[in-house]
Amino acid sequence: MKKNNSRRSFLKKASLTSAALTASPFILTSQEDEKILLSRNYNEPKYTANDHINLALIGAGIQGIYDTQAALGVQGIKLVVACDLYLGRLDRAKELWGDAIFVTQDYRKILERKDIDAVIVATPDHWHQKITIDALNAGKHVYCEKPMVQKFEEGQAIIEAQKKSGKICQVGSQGMSSLGNEKAKQLYEDGAIGDIVMLDMYNDRYSAEGAWQYPIPPDANKTTIDYDTFLGTAPKVPYELKRFFRWRNYQDYGTGVAGDLFVHAFSTLNHVISSHGPNRALATGGLRYWKDGRDVPDVTITLYDYPKTETHAAFNAAFRINFIAGNGGGGGFKLIGTEGEMEVGQNQVKLTRSKLGRVPGSYSLIAYTEETQEKIKTAYANKNLESRKNNLSTGTTTWEAPHNYKGGHYDHFYNFFSAIRTNGAVIQDPTFGLRAAGAALLANKSYFKNRPVDWDPTKMKLL
């Protein structure tokens, strides 16, 4: 990985124009505080009706709707079918996308249709593997919501099914294709932060909705919900509306905060530094506040070890989730290196660089006589302590997306549909998706086993 640590080099690289990412200065306040506007060039020809990609949605809940809205923003996409096990969501689908769409509670009816080109799989996690494989085997391209799998052992079958089918499979961590991620990757590879030593990620929330206490509609009952199909391969338990509408709160159907939130961070981190992921995790936490029947923690901290590779030094990563953060909530994602720090978001990258203090100050000199202090200062003054002294830039540079940026979610679907049309590569294929999901699932395994767990990120196997 070639590194170039001068600010001039960073700004030259930032202003290079490519088919994907461009940047230009829009505010220059001083040498130590500047902002640069990012932009992206899209190749979006006008498509005729015959050129449309016919799309089906499997799982028309919250994320499924957001996914579909983002997908339909891309030129040449037509929603044909929506599927969900709750009839009320099928009514909502017609409200959103018109009475002409076909609706069903049985996803298999979608896969039988020859006019469907691609499907979005936005079901509870425990259904991801089966529906994704069924869709690939039926000749459909698949956008599968993260985490790609609920269990470690489910991933290889998806990888094999995708290769056998020859179809495109994109895993849906929606920020993966964002301007922020792409700029962060460029900066990292240019050596902007030196060697990475730590990743600091946190996601704090302070609302019932943020803690997955989603509202249950008044018409939800045994006649409007196909509860038995929802359970699938999970244990057969008595009918309970909370399990259906708040499935993220249960190990039987979801993957907890790790699979829902950590996986986004792992997708970004592994992409930015070109890594396969961590090899060890140690988790702690508990159910501190939302004691509503859920069996996953609402507060958790996990520490990860990343081994040294060709693209990064050995480093540690700290992931924290707090669903009862009394400060009101917030979040952050920081890559901290030996020469700088990057705070990364979908729409922004903030790079801060400081000069390493090598000359002793008054704190340590106070123990010596004034004569000795002067000798020490003279000795340090004669040393070449900073080989980058003339090139080292300090201060903060921020790269921001413009106000009219279409967003990372749009970009992720643009990447997916472009790959379908050109038979190209996606940014988050099943192998990448399994490595991101596997790293996240380590947190759950460590938490419930109450011990560190080891993982081979290259072979994608527990040790």
156-161 contacts at long range (C-beta below 8 A, 24 or more positions apart): 156/434, 156/460, 157/129, 157/133, 158/129, 158/132, 158/133, 158/430, 158/433, 158/434, 159/430, 159/431, 159/434, 161/132, 161/133, 161/136, 161/137
For residue range 299-334, what is the model confidence (pLDDT) as tens digits?
A: 999 999 999 999 999 999 999 999 999 999 999 999
> Model confidence over 360-387: pLDDT tens digits?
999 999 999 999 999 999 999 888 766 5
- d(CA 126, CA 182) in angstroms, rounded, equals 31
Maximal C-alpha separation, the chain: 90
Bridge partner residues of 119 (DSSP): 56, 142
Q: pLDDT tens-digit profile of 115-150? A: 999 999 999 999 999 999 999 999 999 999 999 999
pLDDT greater than 90 at residue 18: no
Query: So what's the pLDDT on residue 45?
Result: 87
Q: What is the pLDDT of residue 9?
A: 42
- What's the token pair of residue 384? 């070449």
Q: How far apart are CA 415 and CA 304, in angstroms?
A: 30
Nearest to 118 by CA among 146, 88, 150, 81: 81
Residue 36 and residue 398 in contact, taking contact as beta carbons nearer than 8 Å: yes
Q: What is d(CA 277, CA 297) in angstroms, rounded to the nearest whole number? A: 23
Give the number of other Cβ atoms within 10 Å of residue 449's Cβ.
10
Mean pLDDT of 4-13: 40
Which of the pair, 189 or 391, is modelled with greater confidence? 189
Confidence of residue 32 (pLDDT cuts 50, 70, 90): low
The answer to whether 137 touches 130, Cβ cutoff 8 Å, is no
- Judged against a pLDDT cut of 70, whether residue 20 lies above it is answered with no
The Cβ of residue 354 has, within 10 Å, a number of other Cβ atoms equal to 12
For residue 21, name the pLDDT band (cuts at 50, 70, 90): low
Q: Which pLDDT does position 239 carry in this prediction? A: 97
Q: What is the pLDDT of residues 411-430, one digit of tens each?
A: 999 999 999 999 999 999 99
List all residues 6 or more positions away from 262 whose beta carbon is below 8 Å from its beta carbon. 201, 302, 319, 321, 439, 440, 443
What is the pLDDT averaged over residues 77-90? 99
pTM over 0.75: yes
Q: What's the pLDDT at 453?
A: 99
Read off the pLDDT band of 445 (50, 70, 90): very high
Model confidence at 1: pLDDT above 60: no
Coil/strand/helix, residue 202: strand
**Strand-pair category, 330-337 with 315-322:** unpaired
Q: What residue ranges define each of the domains in the chain, with the CATH number in brackets? A: 7-41+177-220+248-356+392-406+431-462 (3.30.360.10), 49-172 (3.40.50.720), 357-391 (no CATH)
